[in-house]
Every structure is written in structure tokens, then in C-alpha cells.
Structure 1
Amino acid sequence: MWTALLIAVAALLAARLYNKIYFVRYCQFSSIPQLPNSFFFGHLKLLGQYMKHSPAGAHPDVAFFEMHNKVGRPPLMIIDLWPIKDPLVLVCSHHVAEQVSRVSKLHPTSVPKADHGNMKRVLGAKSLLTTNGDEWKMMRKRFNPGFASQNILALLPSIVAKLPPFIHNLETLARSQEEFRLGHVLMALTFDIIGVVVLNEHLDTQHLDVSRNGDLFKLYIQLMDTYSQDNLNAQWWLSPRIAWKRRRLDDQFEAAIKSIIRKKHAECQDEKTNDKPLRSILSLCLQDSPTLSPELLDATCHHMKSFILAGHDTTSAVLAWLFYELSRTPRVLESLRAELDSLFGPATSPQDVMDKLASSDGPRLVRCMPYTSAVFKETLRLHPPGATARYSEPGTGFSVSTPSGQQQCLDGVMIYNFDPYINRDPIVYGDWADKFEPERWLGADADDIPASAWRGFERGPRNCIGQEFATMEARVIIAVVARCFDFEKVGLGELDLDHGGKPVFGQDGQYKVKSEVYQTIQVTAKAVDGMRMKVRPSIGRRGGGKSDK
């Protein structure tokens, strides 16, 4: 009798499981375009095949592009990752993406951020990047003053002060003609800058001999290495050894951050007594707290981790792509240099430019770079380092309207604003959607592009709080570097030369290349090879690459 009962119970459970899987696979989201899926594996096996045929180490977005093309480029597409992860909906229309990111009655601060999985620790478990609703709103309100224009411009001398070691490194590499990873050198610079801006701490990050770099930076690099090619933010139990190493390094990183917080809190109390101004982001966390409780220490640590990551990563990743695009697009490089000549005069030495940027005239100068800004914006359009993932709980009733007017409920799925596609949507950007064309952001042409179709810093109330800082920082670095150094790509993306050793123009006005550079993933998207380069002083430019020391 017991055997029969167990068989009956097992059969009932099997039937319920079958019905659950069948509903998820074939009924729940049947109205959203998708590729054929498997009863047992959903799209996991198919996605694996697409990723296998992608270039080595490529970002999952590369596979998503191919899958989206295969299904006919619809505004929404579902990729069924259940039960490993929630089903994923790619939002491939700026009309729909705007509905996800904007305020609504259902979601007063926009659709909540999706769970960040194993990235939550490095992002800060209770930070501006990972919280939702009223908790997030309170945090955003608290930090907004730190990113106001007046405060950002006041940071200009601090940014400029970190540039001499960077210039020295480029000069050293130019003399040696050694190959190097531009993305890594830029990351060291922007990390050094964000150390001052966020922590008011000099982190000593810019040594070409990496063994000489500061301990906090070396620890951070080790931690980031554990996220290399973590393609789908996989569950910890799929890679327990890496998860353990990541946790150990993150604990050490948090301990180092907390040590700085304790020191700065004590300094803040002394500064209050002496009526000295507080400008760093850390000071905003501590300014009204005479006592550093364990709860405040933890919360502040989470915020600092998120600002450190977001504050250096976007600028360094995008600038690596920017100098690559300039190296193969001579007309854009010449136009950029002409704008800088008009602003800073013909003297191109880095020290001359840095002196002017650090002067009282610096804020005016960084605001007078429309072409430089367009170059940065166009690079960010083509090579965004990240996008946003959202999640509306089942039963909420969150629906979007596609451009054709179809209503689709997106409760219970991970909603991924597929910004790498939206930023290149041929419906918006036409036949030149994939081309590097900064002029599209200048003059009358810019008016034809809907604001929601460029999502470099995302949009809505949860757009990037530091976007003004990032763009100013980028303009400063470009202004100092672009006229006195020439970069030459090595390996992937190397120029295709003719029999005389000269680069060959393609129809799009760029030099032809032997192969394409593509993005990989390490928390965010970056050039797969770190943007391997050689650098030399710019030929025919006065001031060359020499800084005055």
C-alpha cells in the first residue's frame, strides 16, 4: 500500500512539475518573440551555442545581438533561462525602454532594479546602485548635492593634479615603444582620481610596475579579476571556488575601505571644529554624524564601494575606445584637435593645458568643448559599458506598449534594456548606425534623434548620478592627451596597411582594420584585450608629448 501511495504522490508531483515547466516554456510569454526553445533547457542550450560561436571571451551581448537578428529584430525578445535564472526580456526599442526607466503610478521611482546576484557585494549590498523605492530615493536625495555642477567644477583642480603621472607613463611607453593595455593605464588614472573625489584619499595607483601600486588598488584588481567572463552573473554554486575567493577578497577590500572611513570620520570632526569645507562624497555620508556607529560604518562602506566602481569604470572603458576610434578616424581627430587649438592655443604640451585647466579659467574651458563632447557621446553610444536590468514582481501588473501598440505584461521576468542595440537602432540612426560619426550630435542633425534613443547614462530618475562628473573628467583627459600623443592599435583592430605600409581608407572614412575589437565582460563591458596599443609623440604637433617636470 505504501509503495502505491508513494508512486501516486510521485506521479502527482511529476505532473505538477511538468505543467509548471510547460507553462513557463510555452504559455506564460508566448506573445513575446523568441527562438525555438527546449522543454528541459529553455534557451540555455541555444544561448550556449550562440556564445560558443561568438569570438573568444566575448560579452553575452554579442550572442544577444545574433539571436535578436535571427528572430527579426523585434522590440521585445525573450530568452528563457529558467530555472537557472528568471526569464530574460531584451528591450530593443527606445520607446519601450523609456517606459521601463520612467516614473509611473505602479513604480514611483521607475521599475525596481533586478537583483544583482554575485555582483551585489562588489557594488555595495545597500548602495545607491542596488536599493529600490523610498530607500533609494532617500539616498539619491542625500548624494545629489555632491554631484551638482558647482561641486563638480570645484573638483577640477583635483582631477588635473592626477594627470602628471599618467602623462609620464605615456611618455615612458612612447620612448620604449612597448605594447601596453591602454584600458589598464586609463583605469589606474581614473581610480586615482576617484580616490580623491570619493574618499579624499591618495591611492597611489599609477605605477607601470604594478607591484609598486597602493595596496587598496592591488586588492581591487584581484577582486575584479574574479569577475572576468562571468557571462551571466551565474549563481555561486556553479563556481564555488571562485565564489569563495571573491568573498575573501571582498572582505579584505571592505576592511580597507572601513579603515579609511574611520580615519576620515575623525578628520571630519576636526574639520568641523576648524570650519573647513568638506567636499568629498565620503564627507556627505559623515557630515551629520558625530558618532560612527557600526550601522553607519557598514552603510557608508557600501556607498563608497559603489561610487568607486561606477566612478572610475565608465570613463576609463569609454576613453580606451575613444582613443582607438580617433586612431582610425583622422578627420575626427583633426577636428577635435582644431577645437582644442582654438581653446588652448597652439602650445600642445600637457603641462600648458593642465595649467590652464587648473586655473580660474578652467571651468569655462571645460564647458566650451562641443566637438570633444560629441566625440565622447558618440563613443559611449557605440561602446556602452553597461545597461540596466529591472524586475517587476509577479502580480504587480506592469505592462509596456510596443511601437505597434501591443500591450505586454513584464511581471516576473528580468527586464534588460538592451542599450548596446538601442544605441545602434537602424530605425533611429539609419544606415550609419554602426559608424563613428560625432557630427550626428551637432547642429540640426541632433534634433532628429529622440532623446530616449541615446542611453549612455540610462534615463529616468535612476540615471547615472555621476554623469556630469564623468563627462567633465573625460573632456579634461582628452584635452591634455589628444594633441600630443598618437595611438596605434596592436593585435585585434590593427590597421590594414597597403603595400607601401600606409593605412587604407574604407568607405565610411575610417581606416580599414585586419580584425574587429569587441567587448568582454568584467562586471561591466570593456575591450576584450584591454585595448592593446603603442603610443608615440604626435608628429608635427608643437609641444610633442613632453610634459614640463
Structure 2
Amino acid sequence: MIANLVLLALPLVIGYLATTIWHRRFKQYAAFPQLKPSLLWGHMKAIHEFTLRERPKIHFDPIFASMAKELGNPPLMFFDLRPVNYPMVIVNSHQVAEQISRASKQFAWSTPKSPTMDALLRGEDWKQVRKRFNPGFAPQHLMSLLPCILDKTEIFVDHLNRYADSNEEFPLLEFTINLTFDIIGAITMGVDFDAQHSESSEQGEFIQIYDRLIRLYGLGDGQLPWWMYPRREWRKYVLSKQIDQLLESIIQDKHAEHQNQQVQQTGKNKPRDVLSLSLQGNTELSKGLLSDTRDQIKTFLFAGHDTTGILLAWTFYELSRSPHVLKGVRDELDRLLGPDSDPAAVRAKLTGPGADELVNSMVYTTAVIKEVLRVYPPAGTARMARPGTGFNVQTSDGQTFCLDGVIIYNCATIIQRDRTVYGDTADDFVPERWLGDSSGIMSAGAEEDAEKRNAAGRKIPPGAWRAFERGPRNCIGQDLATIEARVIVAVVARRYDFVKVGLGELDLDGKGQPTLNDKGQYRVKSEMYNTTQVTAKPVDAMRMRVRRPTLITRGTNKQNIILSGWPAT
């Protein structure tokens, strides 16, 4: 009986698949720039072939960039990911990306997020929840939290001191991520996650569960459907529920505190964390409010610590191989904070009068951070308009494409290395390109007004830099991330020299000295690159050694600048 039903259904299934293939190939998506698809596997075969040409475990973005080059760098590319996933369009042009991320008559809050983003994070009615959290991410409020950032940075400095004494190599990324996890936990929830313990067994329960969960994500998740890994998916589900329960318990405790009038006092006893600010005025913690708050806090924790930790790891790497950039950062910090680089002296400056002005005056340091985010964007955005929406975008040459029913990926790696915008140095690390560019790093929600005011002073189109994405759904924590990074660099950059080990290590000459290339950077034996681990992370966790500076040459000639950890000849 069952066999007869299968035989009867088989022609219907084959007919449906054939109709779908014909519709996609020869009608709906035929006009899109795309590689030649396989009859059976769509573009999965082409993606696999391009992946084999690249370095091991490389992130998908450089693979997409190679495909774009093969197609002549079109503004967007179509990929048929049948039978694994929805069809997808990769956006390579900042003009097209702006149409996707901005508010419109169709989408008042910009194009909706892709359902594929629900695998790790859930966000319900984000626009109302975001309103509740906005005060906690206002720049003025964040500046009041500098002592908290400095407290957590002291633990990071202790780790660096230990490795400087032992000369052992270590995975810098793990330490920067643990640092930023401690900061984001304290700032968003008023909780100490104990992420920076030397031994993982001594870390807080939340961190241990999160670490087990995040290790289940990574290579393979975007390539094959979830149902091919039932055991792994069940483990993800169990660990995710444990994290939900821990977060809900913290939120409930925090809400109970707010009902105590003694905690409602003003002054130094007033709660400063984002969660407390968001719960003010809510006398009842309904089930909906609890789940919405939990999901938003989860987003802040996961996205906020991960991307900032990656930013710091790449920043210290670029300072280690770019001596003129390291000198520029150190000179700026000397001028703003004084010549004493002891962490206690830096702390005194950054917690004293005018601290916010000092942080905002770190112009060159900010340019370095912005350039790191341009060259090594840690994350992207995926959007989707439902079938039948009629969501069209126009390219600069006048073509119109309907993006209904496809995953839309604004590929920051390609957009931020566009040679028509950034010229011949598009692939190079050049922080100086941002000096004098009035667009700066935007505060959340302030993009449109700032762009109108600063249009005359901008050198680079604002949409060509999308590290925090843009529009109504831009990253609420972008100011926190850049304030964190500036403060941590201010504490660390003059105290230590980082020396890459393994991939990306310096190519020394016969006398054991680093040599400069024509771009003013030290030559390296091999280039570093990102791999996919939910976000884009350095492939080797940025293995480093750290040294205390013994020589700093302050000359202006790039050829006379020697990495301070290396002996002079």
C-alpha cells in the first residue's frame, strides 16, 4: 500500500521540482547576474568549487568576492541554494545595500530580518523593545560607565603581564572576547560573569554553558540543513533553554529589586545597567515582557561581546605589523593622556574631569578602529521580503530587480573593499583615509540627520562603510563598542607590543629584524584571514606573544620606525 502511494506521488514530486527549477532558472531569477547553475544542485556545486580554491576554513565572504570578480563585479549576484536553503542574493554595491537597509513606504523599519537569523537569536517585536533599551545605549550614559570598562580591563592587563613575563604564546582572541563578555555583562545586566578567569572551570555558570553552545555553531551550519545533524541540534536546544532560564532568573531578580524603593534612589545608588534602565516604570513583569527582555538581552550579550572582541584582536594585530600606525596611536595617547602609560595613570585621566572629551578626541585611534572594521567586518546582515511583496531595488545602471522571497545578504566585506570607492588601496589597511571624514562613527539613530549636516565634509559615501549596518535596524551598541575599543587601546597600546605567532608572523631578515614593504607595513610570511564561527573570527584565534616595549623610535620617517619589541641594529 505504502509502495503504491509512493509510486503515485513520485510523478507529482518530480513535476513540482521540475516546475520550480524551470521557474527559477528561466523566469523569476533569469536576469540576475549569476554563475552557471547545476541542474540538480543549483549553485551549491559552484560554491563548493570556489571554496576548494581558497585557504582552509576561510569565511564565505572572500569566496563570494572571488565569485563577484568572476562575474565582473556586478552590484548583486543570485545563488540558487536548492535543496539546502532559500535562494539568496549577495549585495555587492553600497547603493543597493542602502535601499535594503533604509526605511521605505513598504518597510517603515527597513527590510525585515531573514528567518535564517532565528537559529541562534530570536527577536520579537524589536522596534518597541528597542525603544525601552535606547536610554541605556545613549553616548552620554555610556561615558558614565568608563570606570566599569576600566575595572574589567585591569584583569585583561594582568593576563598580558603574565604572558609578557613567561614569553608564552596565547590565543589573544579568547582573552579579548572574555574581556568584552565581562564588560557587556556588567553594563547591560549589572552581572559579573567571571569570564576572565584563567581556568575555564572557574568561569561563571553562564559562560561555561554559553561556551559549550557556541562551539556547536560554525563551519557546516550554513551549508547543510539542520535535520542532517539531529544530535547536534538537540544539544543546541538544551543548552539554549538553559541560557534562557539563567537570563530569566536574572531579569526576575532585577525586576524584584526595582520594586524595592530603596533601590530607586538617585545618585550613586541608582542602577546604571541597561537592563535596570529598561525595566524602570514596569511594575508588572508579564510573561511577554520577560521573554522579550530575555531575547533582547541575549542579543546584546552574544552580538555585543563577540564583535568587539574580534575588533580588538584585529586591532592589536594591525598595530603589530604597521609601525607607523602604532606610532600614530602612541603619539596621540601621549598628547591626550600624558607620557605616563601606567594603567593607573590612564585610569586617573579617563575617570577624571573631561574624560568624555578625551575619549572623543582620540581621532587617530578612532580612525584605526574604523579601518579595522572596514577591512575585517565581523558580521553582516541578512534580510528577506516575503513573496508577493513587490520589493524592488535599482542598480546604478538603471536595472530593476525584484528581491521577493530571497535571502538578501549585504556583504560588508565586498562593499567595504569596493575599488570604485576606496581606490587602489581598497584591500590595504590605511587608517589615514578616515582623517577629516566628517561622517565618523555614527551614534545609533542619528545617521540621517548627521549625514545631512556633514555631507560637505565627507570623503567616502556613508553607505560604503557598514560595519554596524545602517538604517533603523543598525546596531544599537555601536557607540558602546567603539568607546570600549578606544578605552582598551588607550590602556594597552603603549604598554605592550604584540608579536604574531604562526599564521601572519613577521618575515624577519638575516639579522632577525622585520623589514618594511612599500605600504609601510612589516612583511609577513603568510596573510591572516577570517573563518566562520557564527561571526567572522581570525582562523587561529590570533595566536600571539606579548612584550613590554624596550625601544620606541618617534621619528616621522616610516623607514626609521622600529617595532619597539625588536632590538635596534
Would the TM-score normalized by the shorter structure come out above 0.5? yes
Cα pair distance change 1:206/1:9, threshold 3 Å? closer
Q: CA 1:42 to 1:374, structure 2 compared with 1: closer, same or farther past 3 Å?
A: same
More displaced, 78-87 or 334-343? Answer: 78-87
C-alpha distance after superposition, 1:334-388 (max 9, x if no partner):
0110000001111111221022112233212111100000000000000001111
Residues 231-252 of structure 1 deviation map (CA, whole Å, 9 limit, x = unaligned): 5175320221211111111122
Query: What's the CA shift string for 1:248-288, capped at 9, x where partnerless?
Result: 11122222222222222222222566424232121134222
**Whole-angstrom distance in 2 between the partners of 1:57 and 1:46:** 17
Name the counterpart of 2:442.
Answer: none
Greater shift, 350-359 or 73-82, is seen at 350-359
What is the match of residue 340 of structure 1?
A: 333
The answer on 1:461 being equivalent to 2:472 is yes
Q: Give the corresponding residue for 1:178.
A: 168
1:122 to 2:120 alignment? yes
8 Å CA contact 2:129, 2:292 repeated in 1: no
Note the residue ranges of structure 1 that are not aligned, 5 or more in a row. Answer: none
- Cα gap change, 1:237/1:345 in structure 2, threshold over 3 Å: closer, same or farther? same
Q: Does 1:142 align with 2:116?
A: no
Distance 2:552 2:279 in 1: 47
In 1, Cα distance between the equivalents of 2:430 and 2:5?
70
Partner of 1:108: 108
Give the aligned residue type for 1:486.
D
The residue number in structure 1 matching 2:284 is 291
1:7 Cα deviation from its structure 2 partner: 7.5
Instruction: Mark the CA change 1:274 to 1:98 in structure 2 (over 3 Å): closer, same or farther.
Output: closer
CA gap of 1:13–1:300, structure 2 versus 1, over 3 A, is closer
1:355-374 matches, cutoff 5 A: 355-374=348-367
Structure-2 residue corresponding to 1:389 = 382
Q: Match of 2:259, SS? A: helix
Q: Which amino acid aligns with 1:264?
A: K
Give the Å deviation of 1:304.
1.2
The answer to whether the aligner puts 1:506 opposite 2:517 as a matched pair is yes
Quickly say closer, same or farther: Cα 1:407–1:172, change in 2 above 3 A.
Answer: same
Does the CA contact (< 8 Å) of 1:230 and 1:522 recur in 2? no
> How has the CA–CA distance of structure 1 residues 430 and 18 changed in structure 2, closer, same or farther, with 3 Å as cutoff?
same
Taking the TM superposition and a 5 Å limit, the aligned residue runs for 1:210-249 are: 210-232=200-222, 234-249=224-239
Matched, 1:308 2:298: no
Amino acid paired to 1:83:
P
- Deviation string, structure 1 residues 398-437 (Cα, Å, up to 9, x no partner): 1111111111111111110011110000110010001110
Choose 301-310 or 371-380, whichever is displaced more.
Answer: 301-310
- After alignment, is 393-402 or 295-304 more displaced? 295-304
Partner deviation per Cα, 1:110-154 (whole Å, 9 max, x = no partner): 11110135xx3532x2x2xxx4xxx33212222212111221111
Shift of 1:541: 6.0
| 1:320 aligned residue (313, 320, 327) | 313
Correspondence for 1:376: 369
With over 3 angstroms needed to count, the CA separation of the structure-2 counterparts of 1:6 and 1:318, relative to structure 1, is closer
Distance 2:472 2:287 in 1: 30
* 1:443–1:288 Cα change, 3 Å: closer
Deviation at 1:315, TM superposition (A): 1.1
Aligned-partner SS, 1:262: helix
Root mean square deviation of aligned Cα: 2.2
Deviates more, 1:472-481 or 1:231-240: 231-240
Could you tell me which residue of structure 2 aligns to residue 162 of structure 1?
A: 152
Contact 1:122 1:305 (C-alpha < 8 Å) held by counterparts: no
Of 267-276 and 377-386, more deviation after overlay is shown by: 267-276
SS at match of 1:78: strand
Q: Quick one: which of 192, 202, 211 aligns to 1:202?
A: 192
Is the Cα–Cα contact under 8 Å of residues 219 and 249 in structure 1 kept in the other structure? yes
For residue 504 of structure 1, what is the amino acid of its counterpart? T
Structure 1 residue 299: Cα displacement: 2.1
**In structure 2, distance between residues paired with 1:151 and 1:311:** 17
With over 3 angstroms needed to count, the CA separation of the structure-2 counterparts of 1:271 and 1:306, relative to structure 1, is: farther
Distance in 2 separating the partners of 1:9 and 1:200: 58
Per the normalisation by structure 2, the TM-score is: 0.89
Write the mapping of 1:8-47 to structure 2, written as runs, cut at 5 A: 11=11, 14-47=14-47
Q: Secondary structure at the match of 1:226?
A: coil
Offset of 1:228 from its aligned partner?
2.5
Q: 3-state DSSP class of the match of 1:162?
A: helix
* Cα deviation code 1:280-322 (max 9, x no counterpart): 1211342223333333322221111111012211211011001
- Cα–Cα, structure 1 residues 289 and 443, in superposed 2: closer, same or farther, change >3 Å? closer
Deviates more, 1:346-355 or 1:233-242: 233-242
Q: Secondary structure at the match of 1:241?
A: helix
Query: What is the CA deviation profile of residues 49-80 of structure 1, one whole-angstrom value per residue up to 9, with x for unaligned ones?
Result: 22233222211112212111111111111111
